[in-house]
Structure 1
Amino acid sequence: MSAFLGRERELTHLHERYRSESAEFIVLYGRRRIGKSELIDQFLHTTAGIHLIAREESKNLQLRKFSRDLGAYFQDPFLQKNGFSDWDSFFEYLIQHAGSRIVIAIDEFPYLIKEDPSLPSMLQEYWDTRLKNTRIFLILSGSSISMMESATMEYGSPLFGRRTGQILLQPLRFVHVLDYLGEMKKAVEFYAVFGGTPAYLMAADPDRDIQENIEEKVMREDSFLFRDVEFVLRTELVEPRYYFSILFSLAQGNHSIGLVCNDTGLSKSIVNKYLSILIDLKLVYRRIPVTEGYKSRKGLYFLSDNLFDFWFSFVNPHLDALERGNARLIADHYVRPHFARYVGKHFEDMVMDLFDHFNRRALLPFVFTRIGSWWHRGEEIDIVCLAEDPHHILFCECKWQDDVDAAEIFSELQRKASLVSWHNDRRSEHFCVVARSFSRRGDCACFDLEDLAALVRRAAQG
């Protein structure tokens, strides 16, 4: 599988800027394993430039490595032999070669700042006085989201206001994974486990079923994914034990701050603080009812990455047994009996993504402007879509089950819809049920997996 899957929009943005005549300063950042390096390499396939990859090492070794790489690219044996003595000589060298369009992509930029905190100030001076007048196409990339934002975009940074564009690389959407796998049921199950992180999806074998992939690719003690969640967390977080407790609690279904506090024994102030950091790292997101504003006090918290959710749900609780080589035992006794329920809690997010995809091609009863979930006092609706002027509202329930009685679901959905306070006196209401398959369809729109696949094909034709 190509790690570049679904990145056409980002690549188009880069090419549009590359065709300009002016200097460009692009900040590219996102979580580890998300595909930043692959995007840079794909961009460089059709442009002139070099991908410089920083490492966690001393300043002298960093400069020596960049000297070798640039010397090889520009066929400069003198540079390869003598190298840069400091960052000033590095920037001077770039200026000498920026008379024509050239891409200089510096990957893992935070490693350079960590070793030399003065580097952003130096880059600011060179950009303001000389580089911005060249044809350089500079890309600064990094996996440490907080450091990339603080070093390049925050007001107090020397580089504030210098960037000409930024790309926060997001996980792949479900529609991209569906396009790759081709079959709806397989795509739902694979996405529920591996999520939209390209490196995790590449680790899976699409020619084998999901249970084989879980056992071999996630739960075997020698597999890449078995330890990667721990690796990412320990790399990003200074004191991971509280974070582990909070993430585990969220995976167990404790989505409010109060429930997390009760489950972990941590104080509300600590949970609030750590959740805020996890949100900044894009490991957790806050969801509010679709009819509420951002400041709503009804916010709930969920893991952003499906593999993290699967790992904390099924791997972390059984680490000792798995480390003794009992992957088959754990998979048979703990994963298989609960797998449909696990997939079900992610299915509604995949349907939301499909609805957003259909909405862009006007394949639903109306074109909506907001989509999300709704809940209030123990009642909840999986998906609610809203449109203003005129006011339309769509209520949808998602069931990762076969032989669903849609008429029964529709009746209950109508009852809950009456509880949703949103322009009740002047709205047009629409209802639908999504399931793997139906035993009986009701008087509302019903979409099984084949119906969803047919809509995806219609969207591709449009």
Structure 2
Amino acid sequence: MFVGRRSELAMMQRRYRRHGYECVVLYGRRRVGKTALIREFIRDKAAIFFTGMETTAQENLDSFSQCIYDFQGGHGTAPVYPDFQAAFDAVTGLAETRKLVLVIDEFPYLAKSYPGISSLLQVQIDHVWKDRDIYLILCGSSMSFMEKQVLGHQSPLFGRRTAQLKLQPFTIFEAQEFFPDMEPEKLAVLYGLTGGIPLYLGQMSRDATIDEDVMENFLDPMAYLFEEPSNLLKQEVREPATYNAIIQAVATGSTKVSQIATKTGLEASACVVYLKNLIGLGIIKKEYPFGESHSRKSHSRKSIYLLKDSLFRFWYRFIPTHYSQIQNGMAEVAWQRIKPHLPDFMGQVFEDICLQWLWRENADGRLPFVFDDAGRWWGGDPRTHKQTELDIVAGNVEGERLFGECKWRNELVDQDVLELLLYRGGLFQASRKEYMIFAKRGFSERCLREAAGNEHIHLVTFAQMMHR
């Protein structure tokens, strides 16, 4: 079953309906669903689908030749073209009488085996394909390679794309299409555990409890997700042990370079390099308080590092410390020790979900004003001389601001949360101020009464967010 990706598919279809050459560069982290998206797109189209392999140039040429041969209706083993130029010439011939899609999946593997492939494609595009009805898709999981060696200014392919698409994990609303009848709170937990990665969501059971899903998918040594994060890391980096240490340091609360260096025993300068690579892989993000200007960000001491991928956040926070128990069949014991910390883990997941909801409502024009940017904020309170923070601040160039607080807890949110939000909003100068509280379950009568008398206060339950 294929779900989600409506806007991405629509963009690719619009490009397909045009006459002439197109080149879509599609990339994103492993398991995010790139190949599934491409296969859905080409389902009713004349397409040659070739996947680059981590092997020799000759074996990749053999495979490419076979793909072309199969497209032509050949049976058995294909005759191999003498070189890639001859293979591309064959593709050109096939596009003479019809619109043809050529997919090169895992392009970085092909380029690694044959470094001249980008220059060869450049010449082919410039001198032949730009006048043909060819729809080229270059796809890859190595985001740094795709951004530098395909999209970058120094790449031979620079300027040859007609569109690029960086595929992101599912939002909670796309995940809901996976499990349309699932109770929203359970869906939110599964979304947090999987990071919104379609392949991982597919491992979860519609009928199992959260306890069963966690024990079957994370706390069983034979389960697919038990070693998935560390296996992914081994595919992407040369020093997985060092990267493991850095990710675990961040997962357990070290957010500054100095803290990470102390926790891992590395030099701070070395940590910065490793962190930059992890940002490129989409595992870690560098975050600044809302409102930091672009010119100040590079010099800001307020920046922190967080795990962007919530699957990694869950795995590195809980699995390594219970590894021996899990390996020895003590999944139940491990889970009973992890489970009390799940609400705290879900706090950041819920913040992400609330931001997704805000961006969706913003796009549909259903908020008090249209904002340009949104994020978390932290800093000093001059009235108390202490550090404070806001879960969400959104704003625009007109000076309008929305302040949000996100509460993932079973009890009803009371008036004190609202009073604190109003107080923290007072730290900002704004032409207009709106206040929004997001609650897992709901609000106390006192909180509802106070909000009812103020049109700038908005109370939103998780059930309301998930109902459309």
Letter in 1 for 2:120: M
> Which of the residues 380, 385, 391 maps onto 2:389?
380
1:158 aligns with 2:156: yes
Letter in 2 for 1:232: L
Query: Hey, what's the Cα distance between the residues in 1 that align with 2:169 and 2:87?
Result: 34
Q: Does the residue aligned with 2:95 lie in a helix, a strand or coil?
A: coil
Letter in 2 for 1:387: N
> Which of the residues 429, 439, 444 maps onto 2:444?
439
Query: Hey, what's the Cα distance between the residues in 2 that align with 1:102 and 1:452?
Result: 42
1:258 aligns with 2:263: no
1:86 aligns with 2:83: yes
Give the match for residue 356 of structure 1: 359
Q: Does the residue aligned with 1:203 lie in a helix, a strand or coil?
A: coil
Query: Hey, what's the Cα distance between the residues in 2 that align with 1:103 and 1:452?
Result: 39
For residues 313-462 of structure 1, what are the structure 2 equivalents within 5 Å? 313-332=317-336, 334-377=337-380, 378-389=387-398, 391-420=399-428, 424=429, 426-437=430-441, 438-440=443-445, 441-442=447-448, 443-444=450-451, 445-453=458-466, 456-457=467-468
Query: Hey, what's the Cα distance between the residues in 2 that align with 1:32 and 1:66?
Result: 22
2:32–2:199 contact (8 Å) kept in structure 1:
yes
- Identify the range of structure 1 (28-37 vs 186-195) with the bigger mean alpha-carbon deviation: 186-195
Measured against aligned partners, the alpha-carbon deviations of 1:39-94 in whole angstroms (never above 9, x if no partner) come to 110001122212212222222222222222221211246x9442212112111111
Q: Does the residue aligned with 1:157 lie in a helix, a strand or coil?
A: coil
2:390–2:424 contact (8 Å) kept in structure 1:
yes
- Identify the range of structure 1 (370-379 vs 36-45) with the bigger mean alpha-carbon deviation: 370-379
Letter in 2 for 1:221: P
Give the match for residue 383 of structure 2: none
1:406–1:446 contact (8 Å) kept in structure 2:
no
2:216–2:223 contact (8 Å) kept in structure 1:
yes
Query: Hey, what's the Cα distance between the residues in 2 that align with 1:134 and 1:321?
Result: 60
Query: Hey, what's the Cα distance between the residues in 1 that align with 2:322 and 2:405?
Result: 33
Structure 1 position 184, deviation (Å):
2.2
Query: Hey, what's the Cα distance between the residues in 1 that align with 2:432 and 2:400?
Result: 5
Query: Hey, what's the Cα distance between the residues in 1 that align with 2:167 and 2:30?
Result: 10
Give the match for residue 460 of structure 1: none
Give the match for residue 171 of structure 2: 173
Give the match for residue 61 of structure 2: 63
Structure 1 position 128, deviation (Å):
1.5
Structure 1 position 311, deviation (Å):
0.6
Q: Does the residue aligned with 2:404 lie in a helix, a strand or coil?
A: strand
- CA distance 1:402–1:76, shift in 2 (3 Å): closer
Q: Does the residue aligned with 1:82 lie in a helix, a strand or coil?
A: coil
Query: Hey, what's the Cα distance between the residues in 2 that align with 1:388 and 1:119?
Result: 45
Q: Does the residue aligned with 1:404 lie in a helix, a strand or coil?
A: coil
Query: Hey, what's the Cα distance between the residues in 2 that align with 1:25 and 1:368?
Result: 33
Consecutive unaligned residues of structure 2, counting only runs of 5 or more, are 381-386, 452-457
Letter in 1 for 2:253: G
Instruction: Give TM-score, length-normalised by structure 2.
Output: 0.91
For residues 180-259 of structure 1, what are the structure 2 equivalents within 5 Å? 180-182=178-180, 183-259=183-259
Structure 1 position 29, deviation (Å):
0.9
Give the match for residue 19 of structure 2: 21
1:192–1:343 contact (8 Å) kept in structure 2:
yes
Query: Hey, what's the Cα distance between the residues in 2 that align with 1:429 and 1:164?
Result: 41
Give the match for residue 272 of structure 1: 272
Equivalenced residues, count:
446
Query: Hey, what's the Cα distance between the residues in 1 that align with 2:413 and 2:104?
Result: 56
Give the match for residue 384 of structure 2: none
Q: Does the residue aligned with 2:205 lie in a helix, a strand or coil?
A: coil
1:67–1:80 contact (8 Å) kept in structure 2:
no
Structure 1 position 178, deviation (Å):
2.9
Letter in 2 for 1:196: G
Q: Give the alignment's Cα RMSD to 1 decimal.
A: 1.7
Structure 1 position 268, deviation (Å):
1.5
- Identify the range of structure 1 (357-366 vs 304-313) with the bigger mean alpha-carbon deviation: 357-366
Q: Does the residue aligned with 1:84 lie in a helix, a strand or coil?
A: coil
Query: Hey, what's the Cα distance between the residues in 2 that align with 1:282 and 1:201?
Result: 18
- Identify the range of structure 1 (398-407 vs 273-282) with the bigger mean alpha-carbon deviation: 398-407
Q: Does the residue aligned with 2:254 lie in a helix, a strand or coil?
A: coil
Query: Hey, what's the Cα distance between the residues in 2 that align with 1:152 and 1:345?
Result: 34
Structure 1 position 235, deviation (Å):
0.5
1:384–1:395 contact (8 Å) kept in structure 2:
yes
- CA distance 1:128–1:362, shift in 2 (3 Å): closer
Q: Does the residue aligned with 2:406 lie in a helix, a strand or coil?
A: strand
Give the match for residue 124 of structure 1: 122
Q: Does the residue aligned with 2:286 lie in a helix, a strand or coil?
A: strand
Query: Hey, what's the Cα distance between the residues in 1 that align with 2:395 and 2:78?
Result: 64
Measured against aligned partners, the alpha-carbon deviations of 1:397-444 in whole angstroms (never above 9, x if no partner) come to 111112234311111122222223xxx2x5222222221223332423
Letter in 1 for 2:440: R
Give the match for residue 311 of structure 1: 315
- Identify the range of structure 1 (394-403 vs 57-66) with the bigger mean alpha-carbon deviation: 57-66
Q: Does the residue aligned with 2:306 lie in a helix, a strand or coil?
A: strand
User: Structure 1 vs Structure 2: percent identity of aligned residues?
Assistant: 32
Consecutive unaligned residues of structure 1, counting only runs of 5 or more, are 458-462
Letter in 2 for 1:148: M
2:28–2:168 contact (8 Å) kept in structure 1:
yes
Q: Does the residue aligned with 2:227 lie in a helix, a strand or coil?
A: helix
Query: Hey, what's the Cα distance between the residues in 1 that align with 2:100 and 2:463?
Result: 48
